[in-house]
Structure formats: structure tokens, C-alpha cells
Amino acid sequence: MEGTGAPATQPPPAPHPAVAPLAFLLGKWRGEGEGSFPTIAPFRYGEELLFSHHPSKPVISYTQKTWKAASGEPMHAESGYWRPRPDGSVEVVISQSTGLAEVQKGSYDAERKTVTLQSELVGNASKVKQITRAFQVVDGELSYVVQMATITTSLQPHLKALLKKI
């Protein structure tokens, strides 16, 4: 008897057990965001995020790039590593194209598909004092809010975006 004709594709490798609770983030996401802050003019941007992993490592590799929504010209980019722990905590290091370095600590909820992070360290920044990041996956869409506090302005939103898995 003939087969179904379906191609013999390999299933993707299962993530490391430490990474499994954050499997809802894995893959490539693309979408649009809005930037604002009391001291700047609002702007719109396109964005791609990639969360990748190797089954032997308890860490997620993260890369982000953004571009001007109107022209496609590159804007901010960043990359780093996400280290989830079995107790529901997560630590993240991020290096930004502006030269700023972040150490973030926070927690995840695998059922609600959320991650919330607060900066423990912001390095090599002339203005930024604090950064928070909150991510959520709902109906297969990834949304986030990034807030920051600067030397002149209290903690408030700088970035909001909605991305789809591609």
C-alpha cells in the first residue's frame, strides 16, 4: 500500500528541559511597534525577533533587529541570552547596538505564556537608569512593552510591539 505522500520531515528537536517552559517564545517573530517617551517624538518601527536554542544547552539565544516603518532603514538592534530556571525565574543578558549592556532578572509563567523582567544592572548608559520588559503570547501573537527610566524621566513606556510567528 502506498504512503500518504506526506514528506518525511524530521520533527524539531525537543528543547533542553530548562528551556522547555519557555518553548512558547522559540522561533522567529516579525511585526510592528510604536516608540514613545515624554522627551521624544513618537515613531513607528518594524521588528524581527529570533529565539533559538540547542537541545544540549539550558539557554535561549536571542537576537532582535528593527527598522524604520516608512523607509526600512535600520534602527536599534540587540542580542543576548535567556537563562530560565526550574523555579520560574529567568535571567537575561542583552547587549544593545547603542553600546548599552543590560542584566535583567524576572520570572516566567509557562501557562499564561508571560515573561516579566526588571533590570538589575544597566551598564555603559549615559541616560538610562532602569529598564523593564514584559512579554506575552496570546492567540499565537507575541506582544511586549519596554519601559525605561532616565536621569530626567521616571519609569514609563518607550516601546510597544505586536509580532507574528513566521
- Give the binding site for ligand HEM (CB under 6 A): 35, 37, 39-40, 43, 45, 66, 75-76, 100, 127-128, 131, 146, 148, 150, 153, 158-159
Q: Report the nearest approach of ligand HEM to the CB of residue 147 (Å).
A: 9
- Between 19 and 78, name the residue whose CB sits nearer to ligand HEM: 78
| Contact in structure between 165 and 51 (CB atoms under 8 Å) | no
| Contact in structure between 160 and 43 (CB atoms under 8 Å) | no
- Between 19 and 62, name the residue whose CB sits nearer to ligand HEM: 62
Q: Report the nearest approach of ligand HEM to the CB of residue 97 (Å).
A: 9
- Between 31 and 84, name the residue whose CB sits nearer to ligand HEM: 31
Please give the single-letter amino acid code of residue 68: K
**Coil, strand or helix: which one is 22?**
helix
Q: Report the nearest approach of ligand HEM to the CB of residue 130 (Å).
A: 9
Q: Report the nearest approach of ligand HEM to the CB of residue 131 (Å).
A: 5
Q: Report the nearest approach of ligand HEM to the CB of residue 25 (Å).
A: 17
| Contact in structure between 161 and 137 (CB atoms under 8 Å) | no
Q: What DSSP element (H or E) covers 88? A: none
Q: Percent helix, strand, coil in the chain (nearest 5)? A: 5, 60, 35
| Contact in structure between 45 and 37 (CB atoms under 8 Å) | no
- Between 7 and 42, name the residue whose CB sits nearer to ligand HEM: 42
**Residues with Cβ within 8 Å of residue 143, at least 6 apart in sequence:** 135, 136, 137, 160, 161, 162, 163
- Between 88 and 123, name the residue whose CB sits nearer to ligand HEM: 123
